[in-house]
Amino acid sequence: MRPFVYERAATSEVATQAIRAGIATDTAPRQGRYPAEFLAGGTNLLDLMKLDVMQPAKLIDITGLTQAHSAILVSPQALRLGALAKMSAVADHPEIIKNFPVVAQSLTLAASAQLRNMASIGGNVLQRTRCSYFRDTSWSACNKRNPGSGCAALDGYNRGHAVLGASKDCIATYPGDFAQALMALDAVVTVLGPDGTRTVPFSDLHRAPGSTPNVETTLRPGDVITAFVIPAATWMRRSLYMKIRDRQSYQFALASAAVALDIDDGGLVRQARIALGGVATVPWRARDAEAALVGKKLDPQTAESAARLAFGGAAPREHNAFKIALGQKTVTRALVQAATLEV
Amino acid sequence: MPEHLDGDDKPSVSRRRFLGATASTAALPFMGASAARAVADPAVKPDPGALLNVSLTINGKDHRLGLDVRTTLLDALRDHVGLTGSKKGCDHGQCGACTVHVDGQRTLSCLTLAASAHGRVIETIEGLASTDGKLHPMQQAFIDNDAFQCGYCTPGQIMSAVGCVKEGHADNDDAIREYMSGNLCRCAAYPNIVAAINQAKTQMEG
């Protein structure tokens, strides 16, 4: 690991100013990133620093802010999650398990017990891709790590790569699970930046790779996520997260679906929410599929045609075409199962 | 060891310490150089090469260490405090061999900066048995159930298993497998590990 300057931030305002100061002293991005990074759980950042994929000149340790920014508040209007809450704290919260099952399940099915005890949910949504060509610096071509260098995955071994949201410059998959739950439930992100606090729809947080895959979010230098707010809605209890992977546990998704349904007494769908993981470059909302379900009875046939719509724009590469069929089956099964939940 | 500021609270000469002490003098210039560097407050002097003051409570004892800022908690335990029970398997948070408890939570020490653990309470495999030498029920259960072969993953398995039971995630075999999935065992002692946890959990709860 390369040397870095280590600072502890006592308040969130200090943290954002420290990042700004860190950038001012060294403006040249390294490996496509700004030279100062926040350190919370560190489970992704330290791993990538050991691999020399990330080379921050400065780390601002914000674990000292945990007490101020880790509250989990459930009200009739919304679920508010402090961004420094640990994944395990959210996953094991009884009211979240009961009233926002897709949130709890997306976290329980992610990583390992130790990692969930360490990782903050704010850092979790920002975790970086598992693309081998990104993680292994002996490959020179990676536009995400080394902008302008090309993409070794396009014609490389791309079984794990994205079929949705890819560009000619990057097909790396967004690896997380929790983000899909936030997408499906219309979460809002509270961001503290050098110029104050603002809120951003979660669906606007991540950026599709386009021609700048190194820029992964709409966050600006010095911005720190302080909370997620999930509005209470008629579909939140009839929700679940389905994750399909090569191993039963402790593995990233090949395909996953966060679904939430509002079904009326007659069995017709009033509202549907579907977000896809493991198959796209960013947390992916399948709005066409959602719209197709409204007013229909949810059965295996309607679920399957919605699932087909969800992958309408899919563009497979040599080794990942199976993700289209697998993803469609994942969405179908998730929807059918959600429809049978007793809420 | 010059980095270890509070000197001598090691119970005995460990294998590693003995080997280190008897190794060639090639290590000495490095250690001298380390000692010569001042321990700096990072807020005052942003020098990546400065040693950082880190205080840790490890198995009930307070330690004050002067560490390179890059030092992980695992390396601090193994190389600076001499507690080599926690193992370095993958060093990337994938195998679980480095599992310790930080403020009571099972944690991967290889993905924790020692600096981030400043002021925290650390428990390692060395602190699990009673002071009179009686093994923790989980340690005894691993022996009783033959829950290891080579033993390299075992300290991490046991620390993780204790956490698994304390969290209430050991209700049945499926839950144990799920909540122990972060600890890999290349000898594949998994069925015996599940049996050991089942044995120990009743004693821990009782």
Task: Tell me, yes or no, whether B183 and B114 share the same domain.
Answer: no
Residues 6+ apart with CB under 8 A from B113: A6, A39, A42, A46, A59, A61, B69, B70, B71, B72, B73
Which CATH number goes with the domain that contains B196? 1.10.150.120
* 3-class state of residue A277 by DSSP: strand
B6-B108-B122-B39 Cα dihedral, nearest 10 degrees: 30
The pLDDT score that the predictor gives to residue A22 is 60
Q: Is residue B8 part of a domain?
A: no
CA distance B143 to B145: 5
Structure tokens at B162: 């204790």
The residue from B107, B127, B147 where one domain ends is B127
Residue type, A283: P
Report ipTM for this prediction: 0.95
Task: Tell me, yes or no, whether B117 and B21 share the same domain.
Answer: yes
Size of chain B in residues = 206
* 3-class state of residue A50 by DSSP: helix
- What are the chain A neighbours of B47 within 8 Å (beta carbons)? 5
Which residue range is the domain that position B195 belongs to? 137-205
Q: Name which of B99, B105, B159, B173 to mutate to probe chain A: the one with the most chain A Cβ atoms within 10 A of its Cβ.
A: B105
pLDDT digits (tens, 9 = 90+) for B92-142: 999 999 999 999 999 999 999 999 999 999 999 999 999 999 999 999 999
pLDDT digits (tens, 9 = 90+) for B140-194: 999 999 999 999 999 999 999 999 999 999 999 999 999 999 999 999 999 999 9
Say yes or no for a CB contact (<8 Å) between B107 and A114.
yes
- The answer to whether the beta carbons of residues B112 and A42 sit under 8 Å apart is yes
Q: Is A250 in the B-facing interface, judged by CB distances under 8 Å?
A: yes
Asked which of A200-214, A245-259, A291-305, B20-34 is least confident by mean pLDDT, the reply is: B20-34
Q: Is residue B1 part of a domain?
A: no
Query: What helix, strand, coil percent values describe chain B, rounded to 5?
Result: 40, 15, 45
Task: Tell me, yes or no, whether B186 and B87 share the same domain.
Answer: no
Write down the mean pLDDT value for chain A.
94
| Average pLDDT of span A105-127 | 98
Q: Is residue B46 part of a domain?
A: yes
Q: Is residue B142 part of a domain?
A: yes
The pLDDT score that the predictor gives to residue B49 is 73
Say yes or no for a CB contact (<8 Å) between A112 and B99.
no
pLDDT digits (tens, 9 = 90+) for B3-53: 444 434 444 445 554 444 444 333 333 333 333 333 434 444 456 678 999
Task: Tell me, yes or no, whether B60 and B150 share the same domain.
Answer: no
Pairing of strands A196-201, A239-244: unpaired
- What are the chain B neighbours of A57 within 8 Å (beta carbons)? 48
- What are the chain B neighbours of A111 within 8 Å (beta carbons)? 182
Say yes or no for a CB contact (<8 Å) between A118 and B107.
yes
- What are the chain A neighbours of B157 within 8 Å (beta carbons)? none
Residue B31: CB atoms within 10 A of its CB come to: 13
- Asked whether residue A184 carries a pLDDT value surpassing 80, the answer given is yes
Q: Is residue B2 part of a domain?
A: no
Task: Tell me, yes or no, whether B115 and B180 share the same domain.
Answer: no
Task: Tell me, yes or no, whether B48 and B113 share the same domain.
Answer: yes
Quote the DSSP letter at residue A204: G
Q: Name which of A114, A128, A248 to mutate to probe chain B: the one with the most chain B Cβ atoms within 10 A of its Cβ.
A: A114
The pLDDT score that the predictor gives to residue B40 is 39
Task: Tell me, yes or no, whether B111 and B147 share the same domain.
Answer: no
Say yes or no for a CB contact (<8 Å) between A6 and B178.
no
Sketch out chain A's domains with CATH numbers.
5-64 (3.30.43), 67-125+177-231 (3.30.465.10), 239-340 (3.30.390.50)
Q: Is residue B6 part of a domain?
A: no
- For chain B, the domain total comes to 2
Task: Tell me, yes or no, whether B106 and B30 share the same domain.
Answer: yes
Q: Is A26 in the B-facing interface, judged by CB distances under 8 Å?
A: no
Which CATH number goes with the domain that contains B49? 3.10.20.30
Q: Give residue A294's pLDDT band: very low, low, confident or very high (50, 70, 90).
A: very high
Q: Is residue B168 part of a domain?
A: yes
Residue B24: CB atoms within 10 A of its CB come to: 6
- The answer to whether the beta carbons of residues B4 and B79 sit under 8 Å apart is no
pLDDT digits (tens, 9 = 90+) for A1-60: 999 999 998 777 777 777 666 655 555 566 667 788 999 999 999 999 999 999 998 999
Say yes or no for a CB contact (<8 Å) between A43 and B111.
yes
- The answer to whether the beta carbons of residues B51 and B37 sit under 8 Å apart is yes
Task: Tell me, yes or no, whether B64 and B110 share the same domain.
Answer: yes
CA distance A213 to A207: 8
Task: Tell me, yes or no, whether B143 and B122 share the same domain.
Answer: no
Q: Name which of B165, B181, B184, B190 to mutate to probe chain A: the one with the most chain A Cβ atoms within 10 A of its Cβ.
A: B181
The pLDDT score that the predictor gives to residue B9 is 44
| Average pLDDT of span A169-189 | 98
Task: Tell me, yes or no, whether B71 and B162 share the same domain.
Answer: no
CA distance A312 to A203: 20
Task: Tell me, yes or no, whether B110 and B199 share the same domain.
Answer: no
Q: Is residue B186 part of a domain?
A: yes
Strand order in the sheet with B105-108: B61-68, B51-58, B121-123, B99-102, B105-108
